[in-house]
Structure 1
């Protein structure tokens, strides 16, 4: 027999204030010197986090659906006695008092758990917007099930003393004690997001909120009456659940890394207790700050949480992502539930993740929620073929593909998750699924995982490589493996044919050189960009206040980054790294969206709605894709859209976004490519006049030189624009010649509308052909210097036909040799 004072805190419906009252009572009692244990009915992970903060001990779940009716009281006693005996246990209910699993007569409901525990119910009555009606509804709950004992009520969100007195009178007449009347208070609420409350571990102010809540509850609730009601619960004739009784120790004390911290807060305490009981050493790793796995790690467990909220920080930690990817490929036993599966995918909302799974994941508006009776379709890391479990799904993301041929689980007509053998050992070592499992209900899962980790620990030792918190090592300045400061001129060397730099001419044509020389006579005066500004405006048919001349596109991006007020800027890749580099240098948390590599221009319709600023190239460097104007406008609707049109003059100007009306739009142009002016740095921004004015305020005085201003004026004439068009018409012919030669030689390309072509050289092997081409006399831009591209890709400037033929011949030789 066990004597544990206990209460179940329930309500008529969700959002009545159960979490506020339950957490506040826990914190207030603890502040009064009482040892409190907190529990939550159902599979919820978030509320127990607040319970744990309020009580100073793990918050736990009581769910007969995920475990069993027999286990619920045993798990309750275990939690009430661990890590030390509690003087009172408070159990927060779920939904309405009698709401349980559909079709099972309230199985798993708050009332069901209260009866399993023999615990009195303390009913939270939401008084907001009503008085006697709220009391009537509460009294109806008390009469619904005669076996359930409602021992008192707490009035929540009362508007005044008079309001509370009205309710007290009704309950007094019915013989129900009112243990407190809690007025509304904005200072004690926790913020919500797409899956409920923001977890306590993610809020720096959570401790202060709990303290304020404790004081608020203590001032308005009779704590002695709460203790007395809890003490009226009868003794429990059950033995506590003991993890050592349901698993057996394995050899070697394998070290299990468990991802934790703000991004991964969803984990039942019994999970790690079972692993410890099975002889494992559990070590927590925070993927937002730790850059390596523990030494001699033999297993990895990644539970649930909100990686979509922390995608930028998770993606930035390239060192840990690489370490996990290498470990998984080496056969490290790895279990991932829900958020863990997202983290192991190739991308999450376009951000690079671990890439241990052949899948990508994205946020969606649709909520997937419910219990699942699942079966293992084959032997997996966690279960044997045909073994059955009950789990729970709770997410708003979608993973594509949803499951592999070797799925983790199946239910109804669905195969879900991944059971993979990355190392080729003949046994699955990677188990990922959306399904949350309470291992106390299925301890064999913990046993099987521990045994596999034990075998792994006995055969593999993998020291971790040092790296700093930003994911950089040995002085490397890359972000996610990409050197954002790498440009085509870095691939040049003396004596090489330059196919790496996208500048069409080695210098300005003779007539333009004369204009530049003439501008030198005025260098004794500070330059005036007014004429240049007017010339750009006239050429594009826009008013001058929509134009800002800049020292090339680099200054344009830097000005935008320095003045950007958006909180979630997104850069569409593969694309030139200059905008991302400028955003990061200005301190922005840049997020990437990787478009799929395909011959035709991929759509922009799926860009995430959470991005409040989008940066995209058109035509895109290095792919040469030309996005339709209508698609760009649709993708940018309701947020800032920044388009790099550095190569637009080489293609169809009809797709340009420059027009007399450009709300929320900024377009960047450059004269370097067309007119051989890279050394002069000449460009401009066209767009929303309010945004242009903000950029101008941030721009240093005299930003462009007199020669640059003269170049703008000279190249804006109809004659100059006609000359450029003729040059690009010839370039299109040369591009077709190059692509035809590459295709005939077996080298795929993407359909380009730009002065360059992106080439897949996989036929030459898995490594970059750039060094070999350099030995053959060609300088090309390496593909891996762009996000989303691997080393087999190269970007080449479209050359004259004779040079194109020589390049194709060199590539063909490499593929044969």
Structure 2
């Protein structure tokens, strides 16, 4: 038997002052030196928030519908661990529970299951002697039997009125206190009940006033004495690790091997106040690191986030502030698009919609991860639910049943076409393998497998590896079709200049002459040119150039620009070009308020070349547009030869001239932009060999050689693309020395087993593991690859044409891709 002093504060009906008195008792007892544990019967989130403020401990819920009758005592003991006594606030009227459930989940039901004595709070403002009859009926009705040990009279009109009630009660039950009418100690309400404590700046002050009045007018010694007389409890305290099925030996719980602990961001702050305390305890017990974020103020998800939990709250009341935090909204939308495991309940569902309309005013943009809009509904939805899963998803498997509750006054005006999260029996919410968003609130202590599955998914998620490059695919013994470096010999004149630069390396490098030569090559002024240690340095400098408000990276493309922006503390948004649009950029896809746009031309890995006119159209209004021309070997559609306001062009020598070990490149931009970048550049970052390469490859001889190499690469690429198309493998029409091919899941690994290294594509945002990027090599090498692909796909069907933006692309039939 476990001794736990405890009392339940109940009432004849809602509105009698249970929350006021229960919270006041908790605060007064805590101020008197007791360690108090606060609990609430039912699913309500708001009252436990006040309990936490009063006690300094997490508020807890006791709800047999949500967690099962057998868990009530364990959860009570768990929540009260280390406390002197527990105060349990009831719900509605003493015997009022689930409709049609004969009092199931009522205050009396929970009091009977936990053998907790009851103190009644009775509003006497509109009655006198009838109060005694009401108390007598509550004490004797006994369905189920409860032990009413005291009463607190609330809202007495005058001493004479109170005396009349006292005489009528007589000695049938001790009267522990009498409270006068005092609206100053009542919490304000709105469309979903009380305003949460976290949203009230005056909550602490109001609680102090309430604690003082309770201490003055309620016999706290009698309250403690009655609580101490509560019978002992059978059972053990609930433990999150045990609930998850983890081995809890002498050294603590043994968790499953997850590798690096997953990091789960949990929404908090004033807009997201609804969350059961056991939720976070289960996540931590399952091995997750939990970090709280405030969607009202935090600009981005914490670094390394592998899971996101968005609980309940009032996003409709804070819609303007949530909408104004566009950096976090973009960050979350991007992360979810990349497959970030995300759970969203009620408020979280609304936050992920396209927009939310509050009680007043127009709809406000939200995250936009779910194709739906939320608006206020004419009536409140409040109900216990038993839900069934229609299909496997992030949290549940098909046919599983859970218990939960709905509590909202909004509805979705445009439903998503995706698979619903639950059948109630009506379809509700949205669920995929990485997202579970629904109006339904569940208590994970009653369904701990939900927490376990969420953490397991978060432990597997790492998002696209933005630092993955083609050289990581290669290894001794593999034919390299992953690295986009021309595999022929370097020109002898280039080798001579590289050697000379090393023999003359006894002075610090000075790139000014090289910048003059590069400027002459492009017909520009030397002030337009900045030599860099490859494009990677240029991206880093651009990321640090300004305090970008809304940087945008066009994907799928080379990921280094996004890495640079994130490293510099920015939260870049993504414009993700799709297969359906042929991976072609429409200038209208870029948000109007973007102040930095980064795009590759042609893009890596799609090889799609965007018209120069479309890229020029992106400029204007103080925006900087950065065009990476690393693979524009034939100079068709180049923007390097003209000065365009707001335009920055990056060039690299790495690929065409076969010098990946010498980081050499340059920036072409307006003089004031170049000057700003130069101020950020580390002194002597461009090496003497890189300077020599810049000078050598800008000569007339080099330009002729470059044209010859570009023509050879074009022939190689055509041979590769024609061969892939002939096999019925879907490709993207390319103008670069590589081809993006949809070879199917597992093909890259199979080719590796046959001795060929190709570039995985699922590390590029917008692509998955069905795609690979294949570099254009000599004809014999390409033919060997095509033979290997034929063995990987032994049954190849006739190609089926599909049209992308005017270009015909080929693909495999569905069973082969």
TM-score range for the pair, normalised by the shorter chain length: 0.5 to 0.7
Alpha-carbon deviation of 1:453? 0.7
RMSD across aligned positions (CA): 3.0
Q: 5 Å matches for 1:367-446?
A: 367-402=380-415, 404-412=417-425, 414-420=426-432, 428-446=433-451
Contact 1:39 1:91 in 2 (8 A): yes
Alpha-carbon deviation of 1:476? 4.4
Alpha-carbon deviation of 1:168? 1.3
- Equivalent in 122, 127, 137 of residue 124 of structure 2: 127
Matched with 2:587 is 767
Alpha-carbon deviation of 1:474? 3.8
TM-score normalized with structure 2 length: 0.57
Q: Number of residues paired by the alignment?
A: 490
Contact 1:318 1:479 in 2 (8 A): no
Alpha-carbon deviation of 1:92? 0.3
1:234, 1:125 → 2: CA distance? 25
Instruction: Sort the Cα spacing of 1:308 and 1:241 in 2 relative to 1 into closer, same or farther, 3 A.
Output: same
User: C-alpha offsets along residues 189-221 of structure 1, whole Å, 9 cap, x if unaligned?
Assistant: 111010000000011110001111000111110
Instruction: Sort the Cα spacing of 1:267 and 1:775 in 2 relative to 1 into closer, same or farther, 3 A.
Output: closer
Contact 1:41 1:93 in 2 (8 A): yes
Matched with 2:326 is 318
Matched with 1:50 is 50
Instruction: Sort the Cα spacing of 1:418 and 1:815 in 2 relative to 1 into closer, same or farther, 3 A.
Output: closer
SS of the counterpart of 1:66? helix
Unmatched 5+ stretches in structure 1: 421-427, 464-471, 482-760, 786-813
Alpha-carbon deviation of 1:46? 0.2
Q: 5 Å matches for 1:457-472?
A: 457=462
1:327 lines up with 2:332 in the alignment? no
Matched with 1:351 is 364
Alpha-carbon deviation of 1:437? 0.3
1:784, 1:358 → 2: CA distance? 32
1:166 lines up with 2:164 in the alignment? yes
Matched with 2:740 is none
Contact 2:587 2:615 in 1 (8 A): no
Alpha-carbon deviation of 1:63? 0.1
SS of the counterpart of 1:297? coil
Matched with 2:521 is none
Alpha-carbon deviation of 1:135? 2.4
Alpha-carbon deviation of 1:384? 1.0
Alpha-carbon deviation of 1:134? 2.2
Matched with 1:673 is none
User: C-alpha offsets along residues 211-266 of structure 1, whole Å, 9 cap, x if unaligned?
Assistant: 11000111110000111111111000111101110224341211110000000000
Matched with 1:450 is 455
1:780, 1:449 → 2: CA distance? 41
TM-score normalized with structure 1 length: 0.57
Matched with 1:151 is 149
1:192 lines up with 2:189 in the alignment? yes
Contact 2:6 2:85 in 1 (8 A): yes
Matched with 1:14 is 14
Contact 2:327 2:550 in 1 (8 A): no
1:318, 1:333 → 2: CA distance? 21
Alpha-carbon deviation of 1:767? 2.9
- The structure having more radius of gyration, on CA atoms, is 2
2:347, 2:353 → 1: CA distance? 10
Alpha-carbon deviation of 1:404? 3.8
Contact 1:298 1:454 in 2 (8 A): yes
| Large movers: runs of 4+ above 2 Å | 400-405, 457-463, 472-481, 761-785, 814-817
2:38, 2:379 → 1: CA distance? 31
Contact 2:587 2:618 in 1 (8 A): no
Matched with 2:379 is 366
1:164, 1:316 → 2: CA distance? 52
Alpha-carbon deviation of 1:33? 0.5
1:43, 1:322 → 2: CA distance? 32
User: C-alpha offsets along residues 37-83 of structure 1, whole Å, 9 cap, x if unaligned?
Assistant: 000000000000000000000000000000111101110000000xx
Matched with 1:746 is none
User: C-alpha offsets along residues 415-455 of structure 1, whole Å, 9 cap, x if unaligned?
Assistant: 111112xxxxxxx1011000000000000101111111111
Instruction: Sort the Cα spacing of 1:293 and 1:405 in 2 relative to 1 into closer, same or farther, 3 A.
Output: closer
1:778, 1:766 → 2: CA distance? 12
- Equivalent in 273, 283, 296 of residue 281 of structure 2: 273
Contact 2:272 2:347 in 1 (8 A): yes
Matched with 2:231 is 234
Matched with 1:216 is 213
Contact 2:114 2:233 in 1 (8 A): yes
